[in-house]
């Protein structure tokens, strides 16, 4: 018999029925240890346990605030008194909520924008005070009423009802008394270094454990799924020899669009797709020589006017590819001046990007993106496909490619993954070989592979419990606690 079981049997012997809290105090054990020992004793028929089902009432954050300050309708009724108040004078959310509940109960009338208590509202104050007192009783733990009295508060989500199943009392049985009368070999419940080295385990009796025994619910700390996948991505890149880079979230249109060979009349630049900054509205591009080269390339390729005024517009970056564009310029500029690099150069970035899009299950206006960049000699699309497959394989995702067009790469491709339990595939990102107009180098000398991909979409593929991207930003602790640990 385990020492905890002996302690409990000795404590309940001759004590009649004993409450759980008193039993825990007398034996000096924690709740989990006590429940575990009681479950074992019950299975052996040594104790009888009386269980009770009960309801527990808990206040929401809003309900707690009303318990402390009074119901909104109660406070507004006091404020009204014999006077009228204009609807336009209700400044706070609580006052507007109070008006809605007073109106729903027929306690006020609103005419020409003025609010007034009606005859039915003469006794409203005392009734509302009594109702508010119920919240105060729940807050203090003194509420002894039933669920029906709280039905309105439950509908308003001010009060939550929780069913609890707990031990009311414990009593020893005749079999338990008999067990205490015999000899008790102490059973071992743990193995340590001394037991192993001395081989004393050969002469010991070990206690078996039942992993199905109920224990007190615990809420372990958990990393957010998005945080976990970002860390996983960074580990995947660094394990393949990539170096992390970063750049500004507020950019000029030059680095966000022009340097990536996006025409100045491209639809993506419209207000419908891009967030423009009003203060400051513009920023000068310092790399004059590079800007002139990009301007010339735009005019030769797109046969349209190119305006520095448009390139200097300030925007929230629409992709982390703007970070790659800056590093491509810095590296290629340094090489042209005689700098030496060990090739291939492998870089990646992870950061937030902003797009003026309608939010749905796979689109967000504020999201995370990863970008990859490889600069080297004799690079081909095969190198690109192999790199991307290895990155996504590390996350347990199989990807497929198909040709696609992006202004800054040629050739270009999109990569997709199958949504679990569905015949549909979801686009994860785009990739390709950077154009010579961007790198400023002939491909027979140096070439660059680049790709960009959304990070939140990976979770739609990996975690079947996540049905839409907005779920990741709902600030729901209950939702987070139900996530998988790995």
The more confident residue out of 152 and 383 is 383
pLDDT (mean) for 249-253:
93
> What tokens were used for 155?
């509908």
Q: Does residue 392 have a pLDDT over 60?
A: yes
Which of the listed CATH numbers 1.10.10.10, 3.40.50.620, 3.40.50.740, 1.20.120.10 matches domain 3-52+163-203?
Answer: 1.10.10.10
Residues 6+ away with beta carbon under 8 Å from 379: 344, 433, 447, 448, 449
CATH fold of 61-157 reads: Arc Repressor Mutant, subunit A (1.10.10)
| Domain coordinates in residue numbering, the chain | 3-52+163-203, 61-157, 228-249+317-481
More confident residue, 387 or 1: 387
Residue 356 and residue 273 in contact, taking contact as beta carbons nearer than 8 Å: yes
Quick one: pLDDT at residue 248?
Answer: 93
Least confident range of 164-178, 211-225, 261-275, 454-468: 211-225
422 phi and psi angles, rounded to 5 deg: -145, 155
Q: Kindly report which listed range (14-23, 183-192, 344-353) carries the lowest average pLDDT score.
A: 183-192
Joined together, the tokens standing for residue 245 give 């880079």
The stretch 403-409 carries a mean pLDDT of 92
Q: Which residues are registered as beta bridge partners of 418?
A: 425
Tell me: pLDDT of 120 over 60: no
Higher-pLDDT residue of 392, 462:
392
- The structure's pTM equals 0.59
Task: Give 233-239's long-range contacts (Cβ < 8 A, gap of 24+).
Answer: 233/350, 233/370, 233/391, 233/395, 233/455, 233/458, 234/350, 236/390, 236/391, 236/394, 236/395, 237/348, 237/370, 237/372, 237/391, 239/394
Taking residues 60-76, report their average pLDDT: 87
According to the model, what pLDDT value does residue 186 have? 61
- Lowest mean pLDDT: which of 46-50, 87-91, 322-326, 330-334? 87-91
Q: Which of 385, 478, 461 is nearest to 425 (CA)?
A: 461
Sorting pLDDT into bands at 50, 70 and 90, what band is 434?
A: very high
- Give the pLDDT band (50/70/90) at residue 140: confident
Give the residue carrying structure tokens 């993954």. 417
pLDDT at 33: 84
218 vs 441, residue with greater confidence:
441
Average per-residue pLDDT for the chain = 86
pLDDT in the model for residue 324: 94
Cα angle 354, 360, 364; round to 5 = 15
What local confidence, expressed as pLDDT, does residue 347 receive? Answer: 96
Mean pLDDT over 286-297 rounds to 92
pLDDT for res 344: 94
What does the alpha-carbon distance between residue 416 and residue 388 come to, in Å, rounded to a whole number? 11
3-52+163-203 and 61-157 have identical folds: yes
Q: pLDDT value at position 326?
A: 94
C-alpha 116: how far from its chain's center?
Answer: 45
Rounded percentage of the chain residues whose pLDDT exceeds 70: 94
Q: For residue 304, give every residue at least 6 positions away whose Cβ sits within 8 Å of its Cβ, in sequence order, or none.
A: 263, 264, 265, 298
pLDDT of residue 387: 95
Mean pLDDT, residues 362-385 taken together:
92
Cα–Cα distance, 485 to 228 (Å, whole number): 10
User: Nearest Cα to 3, choosing from 148, 168, 185?
Assistant: 185
Give the confidence band of 316 by pLDDT, cuts at 50, 70, 90: very high
Average pLDDT rounded to a whole number, residues 402-423: 90
- β-pairing, 114-117 with 159-172? unpaired
pLDDT of residue 327: 95
pLDDT of 313: 93
Q: Please list the residues that pair with 427 across neighbouring strands.
A: 416
Most confident of 18-27, 140-149, 186-195, 387-396: 387-396
Q: What are phi and psi of 394, to 5 degrees?
A: -65, -20
Residue of 227, 223, 252 lying closest to 368 (CA atoms): 227
Query: Among 210-224, 242-256, 462-476, whose mean pLDDT is lowest?
Result: 210-224
Topology adopted by domain 228-249+317-481? BirA Bifunctional Protein; domain 2 (3.30.930)
Longest dimension (CA), the chain: 101
Q: Rounded CA gap, 170 and 161, in Å? A: 27
Q: Which residue has the higher pLDDT, 92 or 400?
A: 400
Q: Write down the pLDDT at residue 255.
A: 94
Task: Give pLDDT, residue 184.
Answer: 54
What's residue 82's pLDDT? 64
Give residue-wise pLDDT tens across range 297-308.
999 988 888 999
pLDDT level of residue 69 (50, 70, 90 thresholds): confident
Alpha-carbon span 350 to 247, nearest angstrom? 10
CA 431 to each of CA 251, 284, 349: distance values in angstroms, whole numbers, following the listed order: 22, 29, 15
């Amino acid at each position: 018999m385990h020492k905890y079981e002996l302690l409990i049997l000795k404590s309940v012997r001759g004590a009649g029925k004993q409450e759980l809290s008193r039993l825990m105090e007398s034996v000096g054990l924690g709740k989990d240890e006590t429940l575990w020992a009681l479950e074992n004793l019950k299975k052996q028929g040594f104790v009888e346990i009386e269980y009770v089902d009960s309801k527990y009432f808990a206040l929401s954050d809003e309900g707690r605030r009303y318990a402390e300050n009074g119901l909104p309708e109660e406070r507004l009724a006091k404020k009204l008194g014999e006077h009228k108040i204009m609807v336009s004078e209700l400044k706070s959310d609580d006052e507007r909520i109070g008006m809605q509940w007073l109106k729903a109960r027929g306690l006020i009338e609103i005419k020409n924008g003025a609010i007034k208590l009606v005859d039915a509202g003469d006794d409203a104050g005392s009734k509302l005070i009594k109702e508010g007192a119920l919240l105060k009783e729940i807050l203090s733990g003194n509420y002894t009423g039933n669920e029906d009295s709280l039905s309105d508060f439950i509908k308003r989500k001010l009060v939550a009802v929780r069913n609890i199943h707990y031990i009311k009392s414990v009593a020893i049985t005749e079999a338990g008394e008999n067990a205490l009368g015999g000899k008790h070999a102490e059973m071992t419940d743990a193995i340590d270094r001394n037991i192993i080295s001395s081989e004393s385990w050969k002469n010991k009796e070990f206690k078996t454990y039942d992993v199905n025994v109920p224990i007190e619910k615990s809420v372990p700390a958990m990393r957010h799924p998005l945080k976990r996948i970002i860390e996983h991505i960074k580990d995947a890149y660094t394990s393949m020899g990539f170096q992390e880079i970063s750049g500004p979230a507020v950019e000029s249109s030059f680095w966000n669009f022009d340097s990536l060979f996006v025409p100045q009349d491209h639809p993506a630049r419209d207000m419908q797709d891009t967030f423009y900054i009003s203060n400051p509205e513009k920023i000068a591009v310092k790399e004059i020589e590079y800007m002139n080269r990009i301007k010339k390339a735009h005019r030769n390729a797109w046969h349209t006017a190119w305006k520095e005024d448009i390139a200097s517009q300030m925007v929230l970056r629409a992709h982390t590819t703007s970070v790659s564009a800056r590093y491509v310029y810095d590296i290629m500029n340094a090489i042209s001046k005689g700098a030496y690099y060990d090739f291939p150069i492998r870089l990646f970035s992870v950061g937030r990007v902003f797009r003026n899009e309608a939010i749905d299950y796979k689109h967000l206006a504020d999201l995370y993106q990863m970008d990859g960049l490889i600069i080297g000699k004799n690079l081909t699309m095969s190198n690109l496909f192999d790199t991307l497959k290895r990155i996504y394989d590390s996350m347990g995702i199989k990807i497929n490619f198909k040709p696609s067009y992006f202004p800054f790469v040629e050739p270009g491709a999109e990569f997709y993954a199958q949504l679990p339990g569905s015949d549909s595939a979801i686009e994860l990102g785009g990739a390709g070989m950077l154009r010579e107009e961007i790198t400023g180098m002939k491909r027979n000398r140096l070439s660059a592979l680049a790709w960009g991909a959304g990070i939140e979409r990976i979770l739609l593929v990996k975690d079947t419990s996540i049905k839409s991207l907005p779920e990741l930003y709902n600030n729901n602790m209950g939702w987070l606690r139900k996530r998988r640990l790995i």
